[in-house]
Each structure stands twice: as C-alpha cells, then as structure tokens.
Structure 1
Amino acid sequence: MKTVMILGAAAGQIPFIKICKEKGHRVIAVSPEGDYPGFDIADDVVYADTSDKETILKYAMEFKIDAILTDQTDVAVPSVAYVSEKMGLRSIGYHKAMIFSDKYSMRVEAERCGIHVPVFYKANSEDEAIGIIESMELPVVVKPTRNSGSRGVRKISTKTEIVEAVRDAFNESRISEIIIEKYINGKEYLVDGFALEGKYINTDVGEKLYFDLKGKYVSKMCMFSSAKSELDDIERKVLETNRNLVERIGLPFGITHAEYIYSYDDNEVYLVEIAARGGGVFLSSDLTPKASGINTNEYLIDYVVDGKSIDVSKLEFKKGVAAWRCFTFVPGRINSIDGQKETSEIPGVFKVCLEDLYIGKRIVEIKDDKGKYGPILIEGDSKEDCKKTMSEVERTLKITTEQNGIVSEMVW
C-alpha cells in the first residue's frame, strides 16, 4: 500500500481519489475547509490552501507520502511539482509547473517555441492596464494571469467598458497581475493530451459554445472528438500546434488541457492557454475516455505512484465523441424541477449532475463558471448523435425560477 496525497477534494478530484483507493492506496485529501465530497472517501484529511506549497510540503513529510497528485485545478499544480521535487518523487519540475500555471509565462514560452499567441501585455496596476488598453485598438481581452473558470476574463469593445473590466480582472487575480491581449476573431478549439517518458500524444479535440453574456466568457457546451476521428483540416492544424508546443516545452509526463483560437483573419492557430492537468467538468475523468478510449487518469496514477510506464505512441484509440452541457437561470428562487429521472434515461446520457439544485435555492446573476449548473454528460458515435441527444435533454429537463411573481424557464 502506498500513501498518496491528492490536492483538492471537490468533484473534479473524486476520480483520482477513487482510482487510488481501488488500487489499495491510502489517500490523504488536502483542501480548505468546506463541504467537499472528497473528504468523505479519503482515508485522511488535511485542511490547507492547495496553493500553499510550504504547508503542503510539511504535511507531505509528516505523512511520508509516496506520491502527490491533482487534477482539474490550476492552483495546485505548482504545489504538486514543488513537493514532489523537494521529496525526490516523480515531478514535472517546479519551473515547468509555473509556466503551465501562469498565463503570461506560458505566452512568453509559447513565443519562444514558435507558437502563435495574440499580441499581449502584462499589467500590475489598474492605471497601468488602462494606459495599455487606451493605446491599443479595441476590442481587447483582459484576464488574470493566474486563475481559471473564466473568472475575471472580459472582452472590452468600447472605452466605457475599460475601467469595470480591468477592476474585475484584478479582483479575480491571485497575484494582482493581469494580461491584456489583442482579441482574435475566430473559432475556439480545445485539445487534451498525455505525456509520458518523453513522448506525447493528443487524445481528443473539442469545440466550445458560450452563453450569450456581453463581454464575458462562460461556456455552456463542450464537445470532444477522438484525435483519431475523421477530422477537418483546421482540427488537424490545431492538434499539430498543440503537439509542437508540449514537445518543445519538454513536459516529462502528465495530462494537458489546452485552448486555441483559429483566426478567420490570417488562418493561423493562436494559443489561448494550456495547463498541465486534466480539463474540468469531468473531462479527463469521463469525456476523454469516452471519446478516445484512453484513460489518462489511470496511466498517470500508475506512473506517478508505482513507476509503471507505457509507450503512449502505441495506445489503441476508439473513434467516439463525448460532450458536456450546462445551463443557467434567470435570477430568483428555484420553484420547480421536472424531468430529472427521464433525462438520465435518455440514450446517450451517462451522467446527470443536479445534486446542488433544490426547490427554494437562491439563484444570482451569472458572472463566471460558478454561475452555471449541471453538467449533463453525453456520448455518441458522432457529433450529430451528441447534438440530437442534447436537443432531447433540453426538451426533457425543465427547471424554473421565480422572482417577484414572475416565473422563468432555465437558460440553455
């Protein structure tokens, strides 16, 4: 039995915890205090900020851990690398972890690797950021250098939006630092992949749709196709860009999740961001295996904990498609929930996540990913299959909110 420390105890870390437990390992879940499901299934619990690497190191040494891991959360990646490096465990290296966790550092590194990135600047104060934006042609995008879940990410199209958007970005920044970058007119793509023993493979490529929120980026749907599917020229170009970036950086092992934009203006692929961890909303744990047949969580845990290696270039892929779909609400209190059981029985639906919704729950205006609900997870043989299933889900699941006597349907 090995002792494995998992940073994070929310839903995104549950698959890692379960896999480790199934393999007979002792699991220590680390997270700030809260109602996190990982606490209920871990063998031991540590209440700590997962970005506090020195505190994590202290507990890791006390427990004499054999491995440390995290998934679907950016802030814990540097801590995992730092602790494993200090304790002589398998580590991607703290320096590389910081590159993959900091949007500014990654843009600098991507340029060095010959990957296209939007024209970008870093600002450490509101006044500096405003001055930079006023010197640029609008629209531009502002975002914190270290954060996730679309928090603080805003598109600025007019001068009247500058101050509010900059203030919001700084409020969500962990280190009082933001990026201002040129807006790229194009289509966004997602790519997931896996590195091991100096080799790297793309596992799937996805597309994303957003809620209609002025200037904000909150995704409502992501659909992923196996990297071995019949892809179009743009998807293949995105996959090639992603492989070139990860190989040139030299990630020794781990799951990657990246976002790119294909520009309609110059037909180039631009990096948005890339992280050295699995994608959220059950991507690395459920959707990647459903689409590609490759369970990167299993392979990563086997390598980090037990040193078990495989030749990733020889893995056998399936050619599937998987997706998640979320929804939001008009502000108010939930007053009806109908069709939950029927939704779970729709062919192609394999997971319905509505545990945090109940009659009387207060719903506030959506600002970032925290304001969306679900997801509903879907699989199929093709994108058309998944789209048909999504349409059936939208016809079946009915949740309403009420405020001041006005009843509103859920927003898909």
Structure 2
Amino acid sequence: MEQIGREVISEMQLMKKIAVIGGSYLQLPLVLKAKEIGHEVHCFAWLDGAVCRDYADKFYPISIVDKEEILDVCKSVGIDAVVTIASDLAVITVNYVAEKLGLVGNPVEFTDITTNKYAMRHALAAAAVPCPRFVRVKSGEMPDISGLRFPLIVKPTDRSGSRGVEKIDSPEATGRALKRAAGESFVNEVILEEYVEGREISVESISFGGKHYVLQITDKVTTGAPY
C-alpha cells in the first residue's frame, strides 16, 4: 500500500488545478488534502451546506448534476484533474467531465452501471453473480411482482444515502412505497427486490495501474426497518 500511495502522489504532483465535485462535509477531507499537497482547488456544489466553499481556492454554486455547465467551467479554467469522494451522484459528473477533457477517469458506460441500481442488478445477473430477484418500475406503471417473495425492498434506481428506501411486508403497501421512492428519483424509476436477511458488510477498495487493493472491510450500521 505504501508503494501505491507513493505512485498516486507522484502522479498527482504533476497536477495543479483540481476540480472537486461536491462541497459538503463529506468532500471536505479531499479539499483539505489537495490543498495540503499544494494544488489549486476548484469546488462545484449547491450553496446550501457547502462547507468546502470556505477552503477551496474557487467555489462555484453549480449543482453537481449540471454536467455541461461544470464542463464549460473546467474547460475555461484548464482543469488538470476532476475528482470526488463519498458521493455516488457526483461520480457521474466526474467521469463525464474527465472523458470530455481527456483526463483520467472511469468509462461513462461503467459509471452508469455502478450508479444505477437496476443497471447494476442487471449486470450482476448477466454475469451469474448471485443477487435477489428484482423488477424495475417506471413512473405510472403497476409492476408484476408475482415472481417475488415478500418482504421486499423498494428504492429509487438512481439515488444514494437510503433516500426513498423502504422495506414492505405485503402487496397492500406496494403502491405507497413506490410513490415515495419515485418521488426521490431523478428519473422517476424504482427497483423492487427481495429482502435478504443477514449482516451488511462493505468492502472498500482502490484500483490503480491494473491492480486492486482492499483498503477496509466494514460492518454497515443502518437505520433499521422499514427505512
């Protein structure tokens, strides 16, 4: 890990202007670290809750989902790298801007899979990775859930942080839960999937130079049912 850390820092030392997508307390450690190692930080986020505005060299009150506007600013500034942490939603803009500017990033097609819960389940199922049975529901549709066993988890396909998530135990609760989840979705799409009993564990990793490094294995603490 020390070697990969030195390699990453060595490459970052060539960079001067860093675009950080997101400006909440979650992105603050990234802004502070970039400043600590001598980079010029340009931060993009809603003004509300944007604590990073007091630490970045330049703050832009632009929504993190406004990809084209952020891209235009990054072009004019001459950004050398675009990054984020702790935000699934920001990853979409990060990789879109990186691709358009020819910077290091992850391919947009894979970004879509990893930030859309339906696309992720579909990809896992196609690769024969075990996962719960699921269906996608678009706005205004009544889903066929005859092939699913209760309890179910209802959630927006495109949000994070447990927004709109609900565990339901009967068909009677489906309509209300769907409406609630769709109200949190940017694209008005919801995924229903069978509830899996057990511990929830995350494995955090970083991939660099074609190699994968596990950083941490963590027991997840959730809010508990039904949300």
Answer yes or no: same fold by TM over 0.5: yes
Deviations 1:28-84 (A, max 9, x none): 110012242100000001111111211111111011100100110111111111111
Equivalent position to 1:85, from 77, 99, 106: 99
What SS does the aligned partner of 1:91 have?
coil
CA drift at 1:183: 1.5
Q: 2:152, 2:195 within 8 Å by CA — same for their partners in 1? A: yes
Equivalent position to 2:226, from 215, 224, 234: 215
Matched, 1:98 2:112: yes
Equivalent position to 2:126, from 98, 112, 121: 112
What SS does the aligned partner of 1:186 have?
coil
What SS does the aligned partner of 1:187 have?
coil
- 2:189 matched to which residue of 1? 177
Amino acid at match of 1:206: T
The alignment's TM-score, normalised by the length of structure 1, stands at: 0.50
Q: Give identity over the alignment, percent.
A: 32
CA drift at 1:126: 4.0
What SS does the aligned partner of 1:141 have?
strand
Deviations 1:235-281 (A, max 9, x none): xxxxxxxxxxxxxxxxxxxxxxxxxxxxxxxxxxxxxxxxxxxxxxx
CA distance in 2, matches of 1:11, 1:109: 32
Aligned length: 213
Amino acid at match of 1:29: C
Equivalent position to 2:214, from 198, 202, 217: 202
Matched, 1:37 2:51: yes
- 2:7 matched to which residue of 1? none
- 1:127 matched to which residue of 2? 141
Deviations 1:104-141 (A, max 9, x none): 1111222233321111111102432xx32356332111
- 1:347 matched to which residue of 2? none
CA distance in 2, matches of 1:36, 1:123: 33
Matched, 1:168 2:193: no
CA distance in 2, matches of 1:116, 1:28: 41
- 1:25 matched to which residue of 2? 39
CA distance in 2, matches of 1:201, 1:21: 25
Amino acid at match of 1:104: Y
Amino acid at match of 2:50: Y
Q: 1:133, 1:140 within 8 Å by CA — same for their partners in 2? A: no
CA distance in 2, matches of 1:59, 1:11: 23
CA distance in 2, matches of 1:12, 1:83: 21
Structure 1's unaligned 5+ residue stretches are 217-412
Q: 2:148, 2:193 within 8 Å by CA — same for their partners in 1? A: no
CA drift at 1:162: 1.5
Amino acid at match of 2:39: H
What SS does the aligned partner of 1:79 have?
helix
Change (3 A) 1:35 1:143: closer
Q: Which 4+ stretches in 1 moved above 6 angstroms?
A: none
Structure 2's unaligned 5+ residue stretches are 1-14
The alignment's TM-score, normalised by the length of structure 2, stands at: 0.88
Deviates more, 1:109-118 or 1:46-55: 109-118
CA drift at 1:27: 0.4
- 2:76 matched to which residue of 1? 62
What SS does the aligned partner of 1:123 have?
strand
Bigger CA radius of gyration: 1
What SS does the aligned partner of 1:178 have?
strand
CA distance in 1, matches of 2:199, 2:40: 44
Amino acid at match of 2:186: R
The two structures, once aligned, show a CA RMSD in angstroms of 1.6
- 1:192 matched to which residue of 2? 204
CA distance in 2, matches of 1:135, 1:204: 36
Change (3 A) 1:186 1:126: farther
CA distance in 2, matches of 1:123, 1:15: 37
Q: 1:126, 1:166 within 8 Å by CA — same for their partners in 2? A: no
CA drift at 1:161: 1.7
